[in-house]
Amino acid sequence: MASEESKPILYSYFRSTASWRVRIALEWKGIDYEYRNIDLVSGAQQSEEYLKLNPYGKVPLFITKDGKAIAQSEAIIEYLEEIKPERPMLPKGACHRAQVRSIAQVIACDIHPLQNLSVLKHVAGPDMEKRSEWGNYWTSKGFEGLESMLEQTAGTYCLGDNITMADMFLVPMIFNAQRWKVDMKPFPLITRISNTLMTLPEFKLTHPHRQVDCPDELKETGL
Ligand SMILES: N[C@@H](CCC(=O)N[C@@H](CS)C(=O)NCC(=O)O)C(=O)O
């Protein structure tokens, strides 16, 4: 039974882009939480113990202060928005809110699932080069549509000049694009927005290479 003072828990993996979205949102809202590492490479997401918590076998998983489990980054982020409306992550107005959700969903539902670890393993086995080619192809394809979408909505950030949930989905996707060596020259708007976001503490502090479970050889502190 969770006590009044207990913190929420985030099951995360340093390099998981879906987990990074939630880390940014938690930081943005100033919500303190306990970080619990699920090592995706060793298959901890499929352990009996973890599957009891999240039968879907993926990260992130958020455990609320009163012990309720929530899976899926967007559902977690929208939950955080509802319990703590200060520093909103969704703009005012139904149409703007829908536009933010649609950018987030292009990333979360269309681009990201194709480069999930389980998908990469299925299409390329242990061949890292083949995995990278696959990731590069689908991310580049996805970014073509995303760049055009952002041409219609962007100001300083994905939608106008205020940070929204869409920005929290964008930055982690760029991290994956770098892993797949995507040529970013055709995507000046995506590049400009994500570079601007990466100057902000909420995005820097939550970077994969600053997480406790990041291997020492990758760890960076001066991002
Ligand atoms: N739609 C889910 C995606 C979750 C997801 O795919 N997580 C990845 C890491 S980014 C994962 O746990 N992969 C483990 C695996 O594929 O075995 C969300 O937004 O939370």
Q: Which atom of ligand 1 is nearest to the CA of 59?
A: 12
Instruction: Give the H or E element holding residue 70.
Output: strand 69-71
Q: From atom 17 of ligand 1, which residue's Cα is the shortest distance away?
A: 118
| Domain 9-87, CATH | 3.40.30.10
The whole-number pLDDT of residue 220 equals 78
In this prediction, residue 38 carries a pLDDT of 98
Ligand 1 shell residues, CB under 6 Å: 16-18, 40, 45, 58-60, 72-74, 108, 116-118
- Alpha-carbon gap, residue 183 to 136, rounded angstroms: 9
The answer to whether residues 78 and 152 touch, using CB atoms and an 8 Å cutoff, is: no
pLDDT computed for residue 181 by the predictor = 96
CA separation for the pair 84, 59 (Å, rounded): 22
Domain boundaries, the chain: 9-87, 94-204
User: Which residue among 58, 73, 165 is best mutated to probe the pocket of ligand 1, counting the most ligand atoms within 8 A of its Cβ?
Assistant: 58
State the distance from the centre of ligand 1 to the C-alpha of 117, rounded, in angstroms.
8
Could you write out the DSSP letters of every residue in 105-146?
HIIIIIIGGGG-HHHHHHHHTT-HHHHHHHHHHHHHHHHHHH
For the stretch 36-86, pLDDT in tens is 999 999 999 999 999 999 999 999 999 999 999 999 999 999 999 999 999
By CB atoms closer than 10 A (0-12, 13-18, 19+), residue 97 is middle
Residue nearest to atom 2 of ligand 1 (CA): 72
pLDDT in tens, the chain (223 residues): 555 578 999 999 999 999 999 999 999 999 999 999 999 999 999 999 999 999 999 999 999 999 999 999 999 999 999 999 999 999 999 999 999 999 999 999 999 999 988 899 999 999 999 999 999 999 999 999 999 999 999 999 999 999 999 999 999 999 999 999 999 999 999 999 999 999 999 999 999 999 999 999 998 766 6
pLDDT at 87: 98
Distance of alpha carbon 29 from alpha carbon 174, whole angstroms = 22
What does the pLDDT read at residue 3?
Answer: 53
Q: Which atom from ligand 1 is nearest to the alpha carbon of 71?
A: 20
Q: Which of 10, 74, 116, 118 to mutate to test the pocket of ligand 1 (most atoms within 8 A of CB)?
A: 116
Cα–Cα distance, 20 to 12 (Å, whole number): 8
Architecture of domain 94-204: Up-down Bundle (1.20)
